Amino acid sequence: MVNKAALWKRLLAQSYIWILLLVMYMPVLILIIYSFTTSALGEPIVFSWKNYADLFLSHEIQVAVGNTFILAFVTAVISTIIGTLGAIGVYESRPWFKKTLEFTTQVPVVNPEIVIALSLIVMFVFVGGIIGRLELNFWTLLSGHLVLTIPFVYLSVRPKLMQMDPALYEAALDLGCTPRQALWRVTFPEILPGILAGFLMAVTLSLDDFIVTAFTRGPGLLSGPSNIQTISTYVEGIIKKHPLPTNLRALTTFIFLGVLLLVVTFAVVQNVKAGKGKRRKGRQY
């Protein structure tokens, strides 16, 4: 006989989860629905593709999207390399040095973005005073995004290193691998999920950032001689003077679906690898 109390508890727990997910994703679902109409919020919805057509016809939005994704990709690649190598280096360090570095890498994570942005601009001005003149450009913007994202990559890779069996690396060395070969053939495959998670985190943080971008940007990329315009700075500049354009509903829908596709693909790949690992272990036993 089924325990009624346990059944009710399970039902309430599942209901709570579904209600929580509904509250979290309801605004996004409403946004997607309104991306197919030019009607104002609260007015009757009239289906239209105009927002999507205007999105591809707007040069300013195309420039902002291009700048944003170029910056996000470059930031994610560089921060993933630095963060991963840094995590491996810290993991192999002496205990006292490891604790010191782990503490210092956690400070930027909890530090408010405005503090990071102001610190960066003060440093750029100070360096500019030493070397003559330092103008803000793409490289100062990239530096700001790297400062923001590298700690998150490090924190994504570190748990995978701690979960890895140290005997695997030592066994690879005993079997004739050089340290570099053991790193590529043993360590990197073991921590690959953490590396991919850090890469996605860096992309998301760079796409979403406004404060650091606003303080450290200058001319460059697709904006030419004008200040680099990203999606966040473009939206901020628009809403200061005009109502929010309806074609931005289509843009945010595209971004959400793109991020969702990346996350789902990552989850599917991880599940497939986990299934192969379980089947391999089952054959061994």
The domain defined by 68-245 folds into MetI-like fold (1.10.3720)
CA 59 – CA 56 distance, rounded (Å): 8
Q: Mean pLDDT in the chain?
A: 82
Q: Give me the percent of the chain exceeding a pLDDT of 90.
A: 9
- pLDDT at site 73: 92
- List, in order, residues 6 or more apart from 90 with CB less than 8 Å away: 97, 98, 101, 102, 105, 154, 158
Quick: pLDDT tens for 133-192.
778 888 889 999 999 899 899 988 888 888 887 777 778 777 777 778 888 888 888 888
Helix, strand, coil shares, percent, the chain, to 5: 80, 0, 20
Task: Give SS3 for 219.
Answer: strand
| Residue 138 one-letter amino acid | F
Radius of gyration of the chain (CA): 24
Task: Give SS3 for 210.
Answer: coil
> What 8-state DSSP symbol labels residue 230?
-
- List, in order, residues 6 or more apart from 39 with CB less than 8 Å away: 45, 46
Dihedral, CA of residue 206, residue 74, residue 161 and residue 110, to nearest 10: -30
Q: How far apart are the first and last CA of the chain?
A: 37
pLDDT at 127 over 90: no
Q: Give me the percent of the chain exceeding a pLDDT of 70.
A: 94
pLDDT at 1 over 50: no
Q: How far is CA 138 from each of CA 15, 146, 151, rounded to the nearest angstrom? A: 48, 12, 21
- pLDDT at site 80: 94
**Which residues share a beta bridge with 227?**
219
Which pair of tokens denotes residue 229?
């315009």
pLDDT at 116 over 90: no
| Residue 181 φ/ψ region, left for φ over 0, alpha for ψ in the -120 to 50 degree band, beta for the rest | alpha
Quick: pLDDT tens for 7-58.
788 888 888 888 888 888 888 888 888 888 877 776 777 788 888 888 888 8
- pLDDT at site 278: 63
